[in-house]
């Protein structure tokens, strides 16, 4: 029966811990989603994606016939005339009218336009990667503020407890002073200590308010009521080793994703430059109506049906670049060098990622080891204060000694809180660098 009771207590404890973590994670996820929905910078980048879609359509339109119509009138003065005795012949009218519709169509360009279309699509994908990268930036900014607010809330509670202890000491000293068992120095000392604790509390409240201001600006609404007091440092992502995080970063880190997208675009630039010397086969056709087919004899105007005739033009043209001053070769070399530079950029990014991951892992391990020590320190400081309070109330301990015991407890609690906060930030940083999407 006793074992069953212990199992029930353990189950309730684990369930409450899990529930608290899920609640904390859901609060953070809601804040992240709110910031992503509100962020003007993300909306700006999304317009780049839409622009990319239309740029692709512009490139695709080059594969279709280009049709246009033209209507015009032109006057020539003077015009050529021939004199035959008393008669004159004018071979071209002064007023020339023309109306036609025509089209051009690229029959074959050896795949050049398809490469341009593919490049445009890749640029759109780069813009989409930029959108997702911005979402990640906002998500982790919100997460850092979220845990900063939790830290400030808990630090304020610790400081309030300290104020409460100092206030209790002040009451004891006041009673002793009336009885002649304490000095004015003791009372002044505890008053100064209380004011210092109040100042520290004000600093923490100011820090908390600043975090709320930044968070509110990210989500576009007041955030004061969105993070309940008592929320814990539960980073809802899996622990990662440096090697595991670096492997995961190869596919999820948006700096690397951006470089990979840019490399694909650079590869398209190389193809486009290499194809610049290829020929281009195009057809054109035109049909319309114009005048001037019948000469003017002695200035007489011909009948409309005689003077205006349907006309048409049909042709095929093959354009072959012969010499462009080696421009295509130079453009190809530039494109290849740009792609080679991107490979080095990937190496630089991986180097920085490995360094930052190792630093974050070191910070996490250091804070975790210190946290284990601080938990024992807090327990010991609480026990020491309990003993000291009893001795102090019995007049065995001096004011200076009780203050030292209270300060030791406060320092131990603040250290414990700081290590928890540092662990959360280090874990968050490792997940950010590896590209983990936690929301």
> What pLDDT was estimated at residue 84?
81
Q: Quote the DSSP letter at residue 91.
A: S
| Chain segment 159-186, per-residue pLDDT in tens | 998 888 878 777 767 776 666 655 566 6
In a domain, 1, yes or no: no
Domain that holds residue 313: 65-108+279-320
> What pLDDT was estimated at residue 402?
77
166 with 314, same domain: the answer is: no
| Chain segment 383-427, per-residue pLDDT in tens | 888 888 788 777 777 766 777 888 888 889 999 999 999 999 999
313 with 367, same domain: the answer is: no
In a domain, 9, yes or no: no
DSSP letter string, 45-81: HHHHHHHHHHHHHHHHHTTS-EEEEEEEEEE-SS--E
H or E segment at 289?
A: strand 280-290
287 with 350, same domain: the answer is: no
197 with 299, same domain: the answer is: no
> What pLDDT was estimated at residue 18?
44
Beta-carbon contacts of residue 144 (< 8 Å; ≥ 6 apart): 425, 428
59 with 72, same domain: the answer is: no
In a domain, 170, yes or no: yes
In a domain, 329, yes or no: yes
User: What's the whole-model pTM score?
Assistant: 0.81
> What pLDDT was estimated at residue 12?
41
CATH number, residue 414: 1.20.1600.10
In a domain, 268, yes or no: yes
Beta-carbon contacts of residue 164 (< 8 Å; ≥ 6 apart): none
Last residue of a domain, one of 320, 338, 370: 320
C-alpha to C-alpha distances, 436 to 66, 137, 429, nearest whole angstrom:
48, 12, 10
191 with 79, same domain: the answer is: no
249 with 284, same domain: the answer is: no
CATH number, residue 293: 2.20.200
Nearest to 24 by CA among 157, 136, 193, 150: 150
Beta strands 296-297 and 81-84: pairing type?
unpaired
Instruction: Classify the phi-psi angles of 292: left when phi > 0, otherwise alpha if psi is within -120 to 50, otherwise beta.
Output: left
Cβ(223)–Cβ(141) below 8 Å: no
In a domain, 370, yes or no: yes
94 with 116, same domain: the answer is: no
Last residue of a domain, one of 290, 320, 350: 320
368 with 304, same domain: the answer is: no
Sole residue written with tokens 């080793």: 241
81 with 57, same domain: the answer is: no
> How far apart are the C-alpha atoms of 185 and 181, rounded to whole Å?
12
256 with 194, same domain: the answer is: yes
335 with 386, same domain: the answer is: yes
> What pLDDT was estimated at residue 177?
67
Q: Which residues of the chain have pLDDT under 50?
A: 1-3, 5-20
Report cis status (omega within 30 of 0) of the bond before 188.
Answer: no
> What pLDDT was estimated at residue 305?
84
In a domain, 185, yes or no: yes
In a domain, 10, yes or no: no
Cβ(338)–Cβ(129) below 8 Å: no
Domain count, the chain: 2
């Amino acid at each position: 029966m006793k074992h069953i009771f212990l199992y029930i207590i353990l189950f309730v404890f684990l369930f409450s811990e899990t529930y608290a973590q899920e609640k904390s994670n859901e609060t953070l996820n809601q804040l992240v989603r709110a910031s992503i929905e509100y962020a003007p910078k993300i909306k700006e980048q999304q317009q780049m994606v839409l622009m990319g879609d239309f740029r692709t359509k512009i490139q695709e339109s080059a594969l279709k016939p280009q049709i246009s119509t033209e209507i015009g009138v032109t006057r020539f003065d003077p015009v050529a005339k021939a004199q035959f005795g008393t008669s004159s012949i004018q071979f071209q009218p002064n007023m020339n009218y023309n109306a036609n519709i025509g089209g051009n169509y690229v029959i074959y360009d050896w795949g050049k336009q398809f490469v341009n279309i593919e490049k445009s699509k890749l640029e759109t994908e780069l813009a989409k990667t930029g959108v997702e990268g911005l979402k990640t930036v906002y998500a982790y900014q919100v997460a850092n503020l979220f845990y900063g607010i939790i830290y400030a809330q808990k630090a304020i509670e610790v400081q309030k407890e300290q104020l409460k202890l100092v206030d209790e000491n002040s009451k004891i000293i006041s009673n002793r002073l009336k009885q002649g068992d304490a000095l004015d120095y003791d009372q002044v000392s505890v008053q100064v200590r209380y004011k210092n604790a109040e100042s520290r509390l004000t600093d923490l409240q100011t820090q908390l308010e600043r975090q709320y201001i930044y968070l509110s600006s990210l989500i576009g609404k007041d955030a004061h009521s969105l993070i309940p007091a008592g929320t814990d440092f539960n980073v809802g992502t899996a622990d990662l080793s440096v090697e595991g995080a670096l492997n995961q970063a190869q596919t999820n880190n948006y700096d690397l994703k951006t470089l990979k997208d840019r490399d694909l675009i650079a590869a398209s630039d190389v193809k486009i430059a290499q194809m610049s010397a290829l020929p281009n086969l195009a057809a054109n056709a035109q049909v319309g109506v114009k005048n001037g087919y019948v000469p003017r004899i002695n200035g007489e105007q011909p009948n409309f049906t005689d003077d205006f005739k349907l006309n048409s033009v049909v042709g095929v043209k093959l354009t072959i670049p012969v010499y462009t001053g080696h421009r295509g070769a130079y453009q190809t070399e530039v494109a290849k060098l740009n792609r080679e530079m991107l490979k080095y950029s990937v190496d630089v990014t991986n180097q920085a990622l490995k360094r930052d991951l190792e630093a974050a892992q070191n910070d996490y391990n250091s804070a975790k080891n210190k946290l284990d020590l601080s938990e024992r320190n807090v327990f010991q400081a609480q026990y020491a204060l309990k003993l000291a309070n009893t001795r102090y109330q019995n007049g065995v301990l001096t004011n200076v000694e009780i203050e030292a015991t209270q300060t030791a407890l406060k320092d131990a609690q603040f250290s414990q809180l700081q290590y928890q906060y540092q662990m959360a930030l280090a874990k968050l940083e490792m997940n950010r660098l590896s590209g983990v999407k936690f929301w």
